[in-house]
Amino acid sequence: MSDAPVLFHTLPAANSMQLGVATLNSEKTLNALSKEMVQLLGKQLQAWDEDDSIAMVVLQAAGEKAFCAGGDLQNLYSSMREHHASDKKDDLLSNAYALDFFEQEYRLDYQIHTYRKPILCWGHGIVMGGGIGLMAGASHRVVTEKSRLAMPEIAIGLFPDVGGTWFLNRMPGKLGLFLALTCANINASDAVFVKLADLQLPHESKAELLARLQACEWSKQAEHNKLSNHLRLSHILHEQQRNANVVSNAGPLRQHFDLINQLCSAADLSAIISNICQLDASLLNDDVWLQKAIASLQKGSPTSAWLAHALQERGKHLSLAEIFRMELVAALACAQGHDFAEGIRALIVDKDQKPQWLPGSLDAFQLRDGERYLASLWAAEQHPLRDLGAVESLQKRAA
């Protein structure tokens, strides 16, 4: 097998069509998304979009542990350390690597969200951060019995980016805010409940599914009804699920839906955090899932908590393109600030698990300190992502 970070091949299908298959191939790093992987995926997706013989795309990953555990943070960390030591440390735009990485990653995520052809994402194993960014925009998203999803950015001083402001805001009730604040892991059942996935299938059924996809008579892209292939894929997936007799019990997020809504419906963030962290012991009992969520919030970056909340509030009525443009500014501000580099140091570099956040509490956070995360760094016509949204998607969610 090639050691390329992303592998591409095609599978023959009926009606002289083909399936494009993209495989994240960095198993040792749990398929963490590097800039090279982003570039390779973007280029190949564009080529397949223009190839009328490609009926649909399958996005999968090597190994059994993870689809994608997030972004590759090592190079970002090095760029931040170099930037912080330079005489341009106060200039958000002077970290060229961070700007290039986040711009290209968000551009790829948007490309997937607005892709003309069906994309089937097989989200087996760990799906976190940048992995959810890839998965969230796919037209057809499958999770398995081993899927575990999370947006853990508060633990490293970032925020739920890669469109997180968009898809977290569209979850039932206040669940999106809770997930942003607590890094809580969710299983396949909860992933479907909060609309991060479309359906659950057994991982062992994947080979059978691919065989059915190859046997399907797909429409050619030149035909008038370009949505027909989305409907064909939806039909095959739902039939596969019925045949597999998948039993999906409510996950912890759904079980605690009413409680989470109550906790996160306070008027301001301080009250929300207080509500979560001061949960009555009788409610916790032996609930390990809730206990871990509370512990993650207590250990997380106060600035990240503020930013996640602020972005969701500001992004309620923005388009997906506007969300990505807003998140790019916030990401660069995080790269220029203290907590993002400190979080990576504590979790990945030194691994002491003892980040020293600045400020150390939400009470010490000054609103004026947050202004740079929401600032306008470019005129509208100069924004690096200004072209997003210029062409409307030909389809979304035919599934």
- Among 52, 392, 57, smallest CA distance to 222 is for 52
Cβ partners under 8 Å of residue 390, min gap 6: none
Choose, from 71, 123, 137, 176, the residue flagged as catalytic.
71
Active site residue 387: no
Distance, CA of 218 to CA of 211 (rounded, Å):
14
Longest dimension (CA), the chain: 64
Helix (H) or strand (E) holding 305: helix 302-314
Active site residue 71: yes
Give me the DSSP letters along 322-369: HHHHHHHHHHHHHHHSSHHHHHHIIIIIS--S----SSSSGGG--HHH
Choose, from 103, 161, 190, 339, the residue flagged as catalytic.
161
Choose, from 72, 105, 109, 153, the residue flagged as catalytic.
153
Q: How many helices (H) and strands (E) does the chain have?
A: 18, 9
Residue 98 tokens read as 């961070």
Residue 114 tokens read as 């607005």
Cβ count within 10 A of residue 193: 20
Cβ partners under 8 Å of residue 151, min gap 6: 128, 129, 132, 160, 164, 168, 179, 180, 183
- Among 151, 152, 145, smallest CA distance to 189 is for 145
Distance, CA of 217 to CA of 215 (rounded, Å):
7
Residue 68 tokens read as 């994608």
* Phi-psi group of 195: left, alpha or beta (phi > 0 → left; psi -120 to 50 → alpha; rest → beta): left
Sheet holding 126-128, edge to edge: 66-68, 126-128, 148-150
Choose, from 20, 70, 123, 130, the residue flagged as catalytic.
130
- Among 280, 294, 291, 306, smallest CA distance to 370 is for 306
Residue 17 tokens read as 């069509």
Active site residue 315: no
Active site residue 389: no
Catalytic residues, which ones? 71, 130, 153, 161
